[in-house]
Amino acid sequence: MTEVYLLRHGIAVPSGTPDFADDERPLTPKGEKQMRKIARRLRRLDLRLDRIVTSPLPRALKTAEIVAEALGMSDRLETADALRAERDAASIRDWLQTRTEPRLMLVGHNPSLTDLIGLLITDDRHPVACELRKGGIAALCNPDDRGLRLDWLATPRLLRLLRD
């Protein structure tokens, strides 16, 4: 794998909201609107992805669908139980190592995605001094086959500030 992008889902209905089981919480209207704007900005970055893989939970799936549509990749979107909210970073890393695509975007949940950044670049879950915010993205690359490194990280606010 030469590139992996870790995208946290957008703003969702809060945990504990009546009428929504945790696994069924959708994006809020504001979350959808912000993700559409973020997706347009990601398109400007000209990411060359082979596949987008997402948690099947509604908040992550909708985030991935919005991004896939903006990037013209709706036909290369798939779901994976390995990215569900209750999965930990180590299990996601192990699953990721089975993938053959050189350039992947993973859409999922915290704390596992933030922990995964540390695990992929330092082999430890907690040393990275960053946290993926809702709608935030981390880009990791492997330019010299010596392991992944953090190439860049963007908050949702930074992405929304980019021009269309």
- pLDDT at residue 61 in the model: 98
DSSP result, 39-63: HHHHHHTT---SEEEE-SSHHHHHH
**Sign of the torsion angle spanned by Cα atoms 75, 76, 80, 86:** negative
pLDDT band at 124 (very low <50, low <70, confident <90, very high): low
User: What's the mean pLDDT in 40-48?
Assistant: 91
Give the domains, in start order, of the chain with CATH numbers: 3-13+21-137 (3.40.50.1240)
Which is more confidently placed, 162 or 25? 25
pLDDT band at 128 (very low <50, low <70, confident <90, very high): low
Buried b / exposed e across 60-82, counting CB within 10 Å, b at 16+?
bbbbbbbbbebbebeeebebbeb
Parallel, antiparallel, or unpaired: how do β-strands 137-141 and 3-8 relate?
A: antiparallel
Helix (H) or strand (E) holding 78, with range, is strand 77-79
pLDDT band at 125 (very low <50, low <70, confident <90, very high): low
Which is more confidently placed, 125 or 10? 10
- pLDDT at residue 131 in the model: 86
Question: What share of the chain in percent tops pLDDT 90?
Answer: 77
Buried b / exposed e across 85-98, counting CB within 10 Å, b at 16+?
bebebeebbebbee
- Axis crossing angle, helix 89-96 with helix 112-122, rounded to the nearest 10: 60
Closest-CA residue to 32 (of 2, 18, 11, 6): 11
- pLDDT at residue 113 in the model: 94
Q: What DSSP designation does 22 have?
A: G
Do 53 and 30 form a contact (C-beta atoms < 8 A)? no
Query: Could you give the strand order of the β-sheet that contains 103-108, starting from the edge strand earlier in sequence?
Result: 77-79, 51-54, 103-108, 3-8, 137-141, 149-154
Parallel, antiparallel, or unpaired: how do β-strands 51-54 and 103-108 relate?
A: parallel
- pLDDT at residue 143 in the model: 77
pLDDT band at 127 (very low <50, low <70, confident <90, very high): low
What confidence tens digit (pLDDT) does each residue in 83-100 have? 999 999 999 999 999 999
